[in-house]
Structure 1
Amino acid sequence: MFFGQKIHPLNFDGPDRLTIGTDAVELSGANVRLWVRCTEIADGCLRLRFENERVTDGRQHSDAVLPEHRPGRSVVPQMERDTAVFAATAGRVELDATRLRLELAGFSLATVTGGIGGCGEALLLNFDLSAVDGCYGFGERTKHLNKLGDSAEYLTVDVVAVFRHTYARDDYDPTYVAIPLAILKSGERFLGLFFDNPGRAVMDAGKSRPGEFWYQSLGGNTDLYLLAGPTLAEVVRRHAALTGRAPLPPLWALGYHQCRWSYRNATELRELAAQFAAADLPVSALWYDIDYMDGFRLFTWNRAEFPDPAALNRELKAAGIHTVTIVDPGIKREPGYAVYDSGQAREAFCRTASGREYVGKVWPGDTVFPDFTLKTTRDWWAGWLAEFLRDSALDGVWLDMNDPATGYSRTEEMRFDHGAVPHDRYHNQYAHFMALASRRACEQADPNGRPFLLTRSACAGTQRHSAVWTGDNASNWRHLRMSLPCSLNLGLSGVAFNGPDVGGFMDDVRAELLVRWHQAGCLFPFYRNHSAHFTRRQEPWQFGPAPLAAIRGAIRTRYRLLPYLYQCFFAHWLAGDPIIRPLLYHYPGPEFSDLDDQYLVGDALLVAPILHGEGQGLESIRHGVTAQERPVVLPPGWWFDLNRGEWLEGGRSLPYAAALDELPLFARDGAALPYYPGPLKNSLMDLSAIELHLFCREQPARFDYFLDDWETRRHESGAYGVARITAEIEGGRLRVVIAESGDYPTDTVRFSPVVYGHPELRELELTINGRAAIQPLRAGQRDWLCRTLDVQA
Structure 2
Amino acid sequence: MTSLVTALTSWRLDGGRLHLTLQERSAQRSHTGGWLTADAAGLEASLPNLPAALPAPAGPAGERQLVVSVVGDGVVRLRSGPDLPPLGILVAEPEPRPVEVLDVGDGLVLQGPGVALRVRARPFGFTLLGDAGHLAVRTAEHVRQTDGLPLAPALRHDTGPVLGIALDGAPVHGFGEQFAAFDLRGRALTLRVADAMGTATGLAYKPAPVWQSGGHLGFLNTGAVVHADVGQSVPDALVLGIADATLDLFLVAHPDPAERLRRYTALTGRAPEPPDWSLGFWLGRCRYHSAEEMLAVADRLRAEDVPADVLHCDPDWLRVDRLNCDFDWNTDRFGDPAEFVAALAERGLRLSLWELPYLDPASPRHAEALAAGHLVVDADGEPVPVQGTPTPDGRPRALVDLGSPDARAWWQKLHAPLLDAGVAVFKTDFGEGLPDGAALTGVPPAHAHNLYPLRYHSAVAAVSGLIWARAGWAGSQRYPTGWAGDAAATVDGMRATLRGGLNAAMSIPGWWSHDIGGFSAGTESGPLYARWLQFGALSPMMRAHGLHPREPWAFGPEVLAIARRFVKLRYRLRPYLRRLARDAAAGLPVLRPLALAFPDDPDAARVDDAFLLGPDLLVVPVFSDSPDPVRRSWYVPAGEWTDLLTAQRYTGPARVTEQVPLDRIPLLVRAGADLRLEEPT
Determine the C-alpha separation between the residues in 2 that align with 1:28 and 1:277: 71
Q: Kindly indicate whether the alpha-carbon contact (under 8 Å) linking 2:284 and 2:550 is maintained by their aligned counterparts in 1.
A: no
* Equivalent position of 1:395 in the other structure: 424
1:46 matches 2:76: yes
Question: 2:285 corresponds to which residue?
Answer: 260
Is residue 2:425 matched to residue 1:430? no
Who is 1:736 aligned against? none
Amino acid across the alignment from 1:182: W
| Change beyond 3 A, Cα 1:489–1:348 | same
8 Å contact from structure 2 (residues 136, 253) kept in 1: no
1:552-591 paired onto structure 2 within 5 Å: 552-573=564-585, 575-587=586-598, 588-591=600-603
Give the counterpart letter for 1:526 in structure 2: M
Task: Tell me if structure 1 keeps the 8 A contact 2:327–2:414.
Answer: yes
Q: Which whole-Å deviations, capped at 9, do the CAs of 1:139-183 have from their partners, x for residues lacking one? A: 1001222222223211001112xxxxxx463xx333111211111
TM-score normalised by L of structure 1 = 0.74
What SS is found at the alignment partner of 1:506? coil
Q: Does the aligned pair in 1 maintain the 2:7–2:124 contact within 8 Å?
A: no
Q: Deviations over 1:620-650 (max 9, x none)?
A: xxxxx94111123222332112222233333
Seen in structure 2, the aligned counterparts of structure 1 residues 589 and 491 have a Cα distance that, compared at 3 Å, is same
Deviation at 1:375, TM superposition (A): 1.9
- Letter paired with 1:522: A
- Give me the whole-angstrom Cα distance separating, in 1, the residues matched to 2:109 and 2:139: 15
3-state DSSP of counterpart to 1:24 = strand
Q: Indicate if the aligned counterparts of 2:527 and 2:624 stay in contact, CA closer than 8 A.
A: no
Q: Secondary structure at 2:335's aligned position in 1? A: coil
2:646 matched to 1:644? yes
> What is the match of residue 706 of structure 1?
none
- Is 1:176 the counterpart of 2:205 in the alignment? yes
What TM-score results when the alignment is normalised by the length of structure 2? 0.86
Judge conservation of contact 1:24–1:76 (CA < 8 Å) in 2: no
Residues 626 and 505 of structure 1, relative CA distance in 2, 3 Å threshold: closer
Deviation per CA, 1:357-393, whole angstroms, max 9, x where unpaired? 3234846944321211122222222122223322x42
CA pair 206-456 structure 1, distance change in 2 beyond 3 A: same
Q: What per-residue deviation string (whole Å, max 9, x for no partner) do you get for residues 456-494 of structure 1?
A: 111111221231111111111111112222112212213
In structure 2, the partner of 1:279 is: 304
Task: Give 3-state SS (helix, strand or coil) of 2:176's partner.
Answer: coil
Contact 2:268-2:475 at 8 Å conserved across structures: yes
For 1:330, the equivalent position in structure 2 comes to 358
Amino acid at match of 2:542: Y
Shift of residue 509 of structure 1? 2.7
- Residue number in structure 2 paired with 1:319: 347
Read off the aligned partner of 1:634 and give its amino acid letter: V
Corresponding residue number in structure 2 for 1:416: 440
Query: 2:77 aligns to what SS in structure 1?
Result: strand
Q: Distance in 2 between matches of 1:422 and 1:223?
A: 15
2:379: which partner in 1?
353
Counterparts in 2 of 1:139 and 1:168: CA distance versus 1, 3 Å: closer
Counterpart selection for 1:545 from 542, 557, 566: 557
Instruction: Determine whether 1:72 maps to 2:62.
Output: no
Matched, 1:16 2:30: no
CA shift, 1:652, in A, is 1.6
Structure 2 equivalent of residue 156 of structure 1: 193
Aligned partner letter, 1:581: R
Structure 1 residues 220 and 282, CA gap change in structure 2 (3 angstroms): farther
Rounded Cα–Cα distance in structure 1 between residues aligned with 2:444 and 2:471:
20
The one-letter code of the counterpart of 1:323 is L
After superposition, what is the alpha-carbon deviation per residue over 1:109-133, rounded to whole angstroms, capped at 9, x for unaligned?
A: 322225134444311111222x232
Query: Which structure ranks higher in relative contact order (CA pairs < 8 Å, sequence separation ≥ 6)?
Result: 2
Per-residue deviation, 1:269: 0.6
Identify the residue that residue 236 of structure 1 maps to in structure 2.
261
SS at match of 2:114: coil
Distance in 2 separating the partners of 1:75 and 1:355: 50
Q: Could you tell me which amino acid in structure 1 is paired with residue 546 of structure 2? A: S
Q: Distance in 2 between matches of 1:459 and 1:394?
A: 27
Q: Give the 3-state SS of the residue equivalent to 1:454 in structure 2.
A: coil
CA RMSD of aligned residues (A): 2.2
Q: How many percent identity over aligned positions?
A: 26
Cα separation, partners in 2 of 1:71 and 1:378, compared to 1, 3 Å: farther
1:291 CA drift (Å): 1.7
Rounded to whole Å, the distance in 2 between the matches of 1:21 and 1:646 is 62
Alignment of 1:680-691 (within 5 A): none
In structure 2, do the counterparts of structure 1 residues 277 and 39 end up closer, same or farther at CA, with 3 Å as the change threshold? same
Report 1:459-538 matches (<5 A). Answer: 459-507=473-521, 508-532=523-547, 536-538=548-550
Contact 1:77/1:84 (<8 A) preserved: yes
Query: Quick one: structure 1 residues 650 and 86, their matched pair in 2 at CA, closer, same or farther if it must change by over 3 Å?
Result: closer
The letter for the 2-side match of 1:382 is: Q
1:483–1:500 CA contact under 8 A, matched in 2: yes
- For residue 366 of structure 2, the aligned residue among 340, 365, 371 is 340
After superposition, the C-alpha distances for 1:745-791 in whole angstroms (9 at most, x for unaligned) are xxxxxxxxxxxxxxxxxxxxxxxxxxxxxxxxxxxxxxxxxxxxxxx
Asked if the contact 2:136/2:254 (under 8 Å) is kept, the reply is no
Residue identity opposite 1:318 in structure 2: E
Q: Does 1:302 align with 2:330?
A: yes
Q: Compared with structure 1, are the counterparts of its residues 627 and 65 closer, same or farther at alpha carbon in structure 2 (3 Å cutoff)?
A: same
Q: Distance in 2 between matches of 1:247 and 1:558?
A: 21
Paired position in structure 2 for 1:689: none
**5+ long unaligned stretches in structure 1:** 1-10, 52-56, 161-166, 443-450, 615-624, 680-793
Q: Distance in 2 between matches of 1:202 and 1:29?
A: 22
